[in-house]
Amino acid sequence: MKPLTAIYFIVNPISGTGKNMLTPEMVSSVFPSSEFKAEITQTLHPNHATELTNKHIANGADIIVACGGDGTINEIANCLVGSNVKLGIVPMGSGNGLASTLKIPKSISEALKVIKILHSTKIDVGEINKHYFFSNTGIGFDANVIKNYSKTNKRELISYLKASLITFFKDSPSLYLKITSESQTLSLKPFMVFVSNTNEMGYDISLTPKASIQDGMLDAIVVETLNKLEVICFAFLLLIRKPHIFKKAHYFLAQNIEIENLSSGGFLIQIDGESKEIHSNTINITIKKRALNVMVP
């Protein structure tokens, strides 16, 4: 008799609008008990997804499904890098950048059907000072936007736009950075440094529209210091997916990037849409090729 496929759903109930629901009835209608051992759990506090993922791995999970946004996916996928356990995604967040890159439907029922066909692929994984990222990481303007965005009660596009405006009109501390990759070295005070593994940030917005999640390379864009008018011009190019043509933007591919803070110690960064402080004057960003198994259409 063929063994049942063990599939565990980890739901972040406050992702996105907080109104997305994954019920046992929805799961059982797609994953019959004759073929699957399916179980739903919910996160109750920060880092709970990590605890649940490790518990499910110990219980013999074949697939662990992240039901939430990019932050929830990041927490669960961090435990699965380099393992045989596959990651499933049911996008319930606000931006859903990784799910969009992987062509996973936004509809819960359609996303469940994707998982049921049991088709997976291996994708690259970014690593920044021993923290994995699957979509992108950034320093400067976008990191400050995420910091302001995280203070809002609603994770919606309008909240992201408000956070962007707050950051735009508020002077952010300038960092003098030395950025080194295989192809070049830059020393400057940047408006932003953005390193991506995917071709979308979320909300159908992209700083790296040419990025591939399976090419073994990171796509980086470093934007020099901008005045307010230049920020508006850059935002327009971002909306039409051509930020790389901006004269003050340095776009390059790399496998290893070192960023040194020459002005003071430490960095405020964003990792997959979550704000984080790194207490070091040097950041190392690398790529792990085909290190995560993900269920895709």
Give residue-wise pLDDT tens across range 126-137: 999 989 999 999
Distance CA 297, CA 100 (A): 12
Give residue-wise pLDDT tens across range 101-118: 999 999 999 999 999 999
CB-count burial class (<10 Å; 0-12, 13-18, 19+) for 88:
buried
221 within 8 A of 253, measured Cβ to Cβ: no
Per-residue pLDDT for 162 more than 90?
Answer: no
SS (H, E, C) 99-138: HHHCCCCCCHHHHHHHHHCCCEEEEEEEEECCEEECCEEE
- Residue whose C-alpha is closest to residue 177's, from 259, 249, 256, 252: 259
* pLDDT at residue 244, as a whole number: 82
CB count in 10 Å sphere of residue 17: 12
pTM beyond 0.85: the answer is yes
Dihedral Cα 260, 262, 268, 272, nearest 10 deg:
-20
**What is the pLDDT averaged over residues 144-164?**
78
Give the orientation angle of helix 157-169 with respect to helix 141-149, to 10 degrees.
Answer: 130
Which two tokens mark 295? 């269920």
Residue 203: pLDDT band with limits 50, 70, 90:
confident
On average, the pLDDT of the chain sits at 91
What domains are there in the chain, each with its CATH number? 5-118 (3.40.50.10330), 131-287 (2.60.200.40)
235 within 8 A of 111, measured Cβ to Cβ: no
Give residue-wise pLDDT tens across range 10-51: 999 887 665 668 999 999 999 999 999 999 999 999 899 999
